[in-house]
Amino acid sequence: MITSKPRLVGIDLGTTNICAAMVRGRTPRMMELDQGKTALPAVINVSGGGKYVIGAAARDLLVTDPKNTIYGSKRLIGRQFNSLVVEELRHYFPYEIVEGDAGCAAVRLNGETLSLTDLSARILAHVKAQVERSAGETVPEAIISVPAYYNDNQRQAVKEAGARAGFTVRRIVNEPTAAALAFGFNRAFNEKVLIYDLGGGTFDVSVLQIAGNVFEVVATGGDSFLGGVDLDNRVIDYVLSDIRHAHKADLADDPVAMQRIKNAAEAAKIDLSLIPNAVISLPCLFEKKGRPVDVTIPLSRECLNDLTSDIIGKTFDICRKVMESNRLNTGDIDEVILVGGQSRMPLVQQLIERNFGKPPRKGVHPDECVAIGSALLGEALGSSGSVTLIDVLSMPIGIALSNGSFRKIIDKNSTVPVSMTFRLPTPKSPDACFLSLDIFQGDNEMVVDNEFLGTLRVPVAAAGRKVEFRLNTEALLEVVVEMPDGPQRIELTTCDTPLILRKALDEERQRRESQATEEELSRSAAERPGFLNSIMRLFGRS
């Protein structure tokens, strides 16, 4: 009897857009997700009465209903509310970020607190429904891609969101690995490839060795706050300054004008990837002395390059560092593969050629390859020995020491799966009933600068016993303690923020408050940026 495999979809859960692909007759194809389009904007609006709007329709509500429209959830999912990153992001997003269950960052919408895992599950359930509609059959399984730099909590949260959406999540795969699969699966290559991934909000670089269907990550790096939106912001500033100069008007606090400028700036930036000159044309943008004012600003590719070359330059600095720290030369790289919408900018392609001595590889679709690679991986998983992924841990995992420093237990770039053991310390206080170890992940020497993963809490009788940190092939962490009756898996708790982190956060909040007061005093009302600037600055940092 022939039993057919359950249908599987590969999902690229992007910061800006979500894409999905399925393999049919050995050929991967992109699925329609939003009104005939294959890219679903990663935006969700929650209105009263529990009504959800997802995709392009939700993106249209960013201006009229900013407090209930969530974008950038990829940055927040799996993060602790009491963390320096969330503290920073809270000031950039117009919606309210609050503390949810188990200390996780959550959002408050129309009086209801929703976890980011729940919201992502809603989006993924929508994706599932759309995929099933296009495929004409049920699609129970998924492979979901995540950035290589995602920490353990973020990976777990995405997996959980997939499960809540009704999928059996066969695997979480790193985005660059998926991109490499789209390029090299079943093509008998023996090459070193560099994946340059510049999306809307993040930059990722990975070097992989492809040998047949063995895909081995040899180096990774990136900046999770560097992407296309930073280029948009430069064009927006250029437009605002032109308007200030030509019309003596400041539109920074005019939400509708700002949204129109943002859309026009991004559209001009995209046009300039194809044509050398574009025009930003905004009829009746604002009123002056009761009359509508039309704004027309020419923008050339050279001008865009001048405005943004330092941002693009930073991505090449990161590539250089990643290569140097892994003793790789540009001559070692056989192919450069571009991923992410912003990598289509001609300046990126020119600099690839200048830095690597060869143009980027043609024929790999920057917007589709991650979803396609995930789908191909799904297809291969069932057939034994058809693909081997050798991935690495992108950030070390370790424990907090009493002086606030970080003791690494598993090093960065360790090949996964991996396991490391150490002994539980004896408690400081003789009266303690429990032993607590705070576990963090990150590249920094002090734990406050890293991400808190959770606390390992065991009875004091376990002092001196062996603890094992186990990472599986998806780089998901399991903590096992050797107990008298055998090894026992212990769930980490995240409800109590470690004291050292709370202190750092209090300091950060005080610093922000005093800075805000100083700024308030020193700026005139007309100059003060309104909260709507944060809509315009979508996922950017400044």
Residue type at position 542: S
- DSSP E strands in 176-274: the ranges are 190-198, 203-211, 214-223
Closest separation in Å from C-beta 538 to ligand AMP = 9
Q: Which is nearer to ligand AMP, 209 or 343 (CB)?
A: 343
Q: Which is nearer to ligand AMP, 92 or 406 (CB)?
A: 92
Q: Which is nearer to ligand AMP, 265 or 410 (CB)?
A: 265
Closest separation in Å from C-beta 471 to ligand AMP = 27
Q: Collapsing DSSP states into helix, strand and coil, what is residue 238?
A: helix
Closest separation in Å from C-beta 41 to ligand AMP = 9
Q: Which is nearer to ligand AMP, 74 or 170 (CB)?
A: 74
166: left (phi over 0), alpha (psi -120 to 50) or beta: left
Sheet containing 434-441: which strands, arranged edge to edge? 406-410, 397-400, 434-441, 451-459
92-107 burial, b if ≥16 CB within 10 A, otherwise e? bbbbebeebeebbbbb
Contact 278, 272 (CB under 8 A): yes
Q: Which is nearer to ligand AMP, 339 or 435 (CB)?
A: 339
Rounded Cα distance between 399 and 78, Å, is 19
DSSP assignment of 195-207 equals EEEE-SS-EEEEE
Closest separation in Å from C-beta 46 to ligand AMP = 23
Q: Which is nearer to ligand AMP, 308 or 494 (CB)?
A: 308
Closest separation in Å from C-beta 452 to ligand AMP = 27
Closest separation in Å from C-beta 38 to ligand AMP = 11
The position carrying tokens 């974008």 is: 71
Contact 154, 77 (CB under 8 A): yes
Rounded Cα distance between 328 and 383, Å, is 34
In the chain, what's the furthest Cα-to-Cα distance? 82
Q: Which is nearer to ligand AMP, 227 or 454 (CB)?
A: 227
CA angle 204, 208, 210 (to 5 degrees): 145
Q: Which is nearer to ligand AMP, 228 or 360 (CB)?
A: 228
- DSSP E strands in 460-512: the ranges are 466-471, 477-483, 486-490
507-538 burial, b if ≥16 CB within 10 A, otherwise e? eeeeeeeeeeeeeeeeeeeeeeeeebbbbbbb
Q: Which is nearer to ligand AMP, 13 or 89 (CB)?
A: 13
Closest separation in Å from C-beta 195 to ligand AMP = 13
DSSP assignment of 367-411 equals TTHHHHHHHHHHHHHTSTTS-EEEEE-SS-EEEE-TTSBEEEEE-
DSSP assignment of 14-34 equals -SSEEEEEEEETTEEEEPP-B
Closest separation in Å from C-beta 60 to ligand AMP = 17
Q: Which is nearer to ligand AMP, 304 or 456 (CB)?
A: 304
Contact 433, 463 (CB under 8 A): no
129, with CB counted inside 10 A (0-12, 13-18, 19+), is middle
Interface residues toward ligand AMP, by CB under 6 A: 14-17, 199-200, 228-229, 266, 269-270, 273, 340-342, 344-345, 367
Rounded Cα distance between 500 and 485, Å, is 34
Q: Which is nearer to ligand AMP, 14 or 55 (CB)?
A: 14
Closest separation in Å from C-beta 342 to ligand AMP = 4
Q: How many residues does the chain have?
A: 542
Q: Which is nearer to ligand AMP, 120 or 441 (CB)?
A: 120
Closest separation in Å from C-beta 492 to ligand AMP = 31
Closest separation in Å from C-beta 269 to ligand AMP = 6
Rounded Cα distance between 390 and 385, Å, is 13
Closest separation in Å from C-beta 393 to ligand AMP = 24
The CB-side HSE value for 44 (13 A sphere, CA atoms) comes to: 24
Q: Which is nearer to ligand AMP, 109 or 264 (CB)?
A: 264
User: Measured at CB, which residue is nearest to ligand AMP?
Assistant: 228
Q: Please provide residue 462's backbone torsions phi and psi, each rounded to the nearest 5 degrees.
A: -80, -5
207, with CB counted inside 10 A (0-12, 13-18, 19+), is buried
Q: Which is nearer to ligand AMP, 196 or 452 (CB)?
A: 196
Closest separation in Å from C-beta 340 to ligand AMP = 4
Closest separation in Å from C-beta 66 to ligand AMP = 19
